[in-house]
Amino acid sequence: MKLFWKSLFWIVVVGLGLPVFGSLLGLILSSFIDAQGSGSPGKEVLDDAPISTTPPDDLVNALSFFSGLTEVQKSEIKDSYRGKLVKWKLPVWDVSQRNEEFVIQTSSQGKIAIFCKILPSDDNEAKRIRQLAAGDLITCKGIVSGYTLGNVNISPAKLAD
């Protein structure tokens, strides 16, 4: 009888646990992978005028865990900025590199935190990104491509002066 319960336990753990774990892992990883289709904006749009030069209060509120908004309202606000060009000045938290692409994560001590994903256009831009330190202020200009755990993903992007 003890073997039966032990077997049943592991069947339940594997049968329910693995799909749940796989779904959560896929959800988290999908927000880090830029899967841009042919209709996605390219780097050429980065020279256009942004719709926002400071993080908008409604988006800041929608990304807050303690806002008075419902999940539906948060989704509508976040969707209204997806695909839009923004230009925000925020403090650097960390800089990482994956192949040729740099990801600049800003500090959440500002109004909002972002992942600014930049593919440098030349060696000077790459050098400038490598020299960034935590606390430096950067101006990230790019397209809002999605959201990860309360952060805004901006890709493609560039550092603006």
Do 14 and 69 share a domain, yes or no?
no
Do 119 and 75 share a domain, yes or no?
yes
Instruction: Please give the tally of structural domains in the chain.
Output: 2
What's the confidence (pLDDT) of residue 11? 85
What's the confidence (pLDDT) of residue 29? 58
Instruction: Evaluate whether residue 37 is within a structural domain.
Output: no
pTM of the model: 0.72
Q: Mean per-residue pLDDT for 8-14?
A: 79
Do 109 and 65 share a domain, yes or no?
yes
Do 78 and 153 share a domain, yes or no?
yes
- d(C-alpha 18, C-alpha 25), whole Å: 10
Do 23 and 48 share a domain, yes or no?
no
* Residue, of 38 and 50, whose pLDDT is higher: 50
Domain coverage including residue 9 = 1-30
Q: Mean per-residue pLDDT for 92-110?
A: 91
What's the confidence (pLDDT) of residue 39? 44
CATH number where 142 lies: 2.40.50.140
Do 6 and 84 share a domain, yes or no?
no
Tokens of 35: 């899967």
What's the confidence (pLDDT) of residue 82? 96
Do 78 and 19 share a domain, yes or no?
no
Task: Tell me how far CA of residue 62 lies from CA of 32, 80, 124, in angstroms.
Answer: 20, 11, 36
**Exposure b/e, 91-120, CB count within 10 A at least 16 = b:** ebbebeeeeeebbbbbeeebbbbbbbbbeb
- Look at residue 157 and tell me whether its pLDDT is greater than 60: yes
Do 87 and 16 share a domain, yes or no?
no
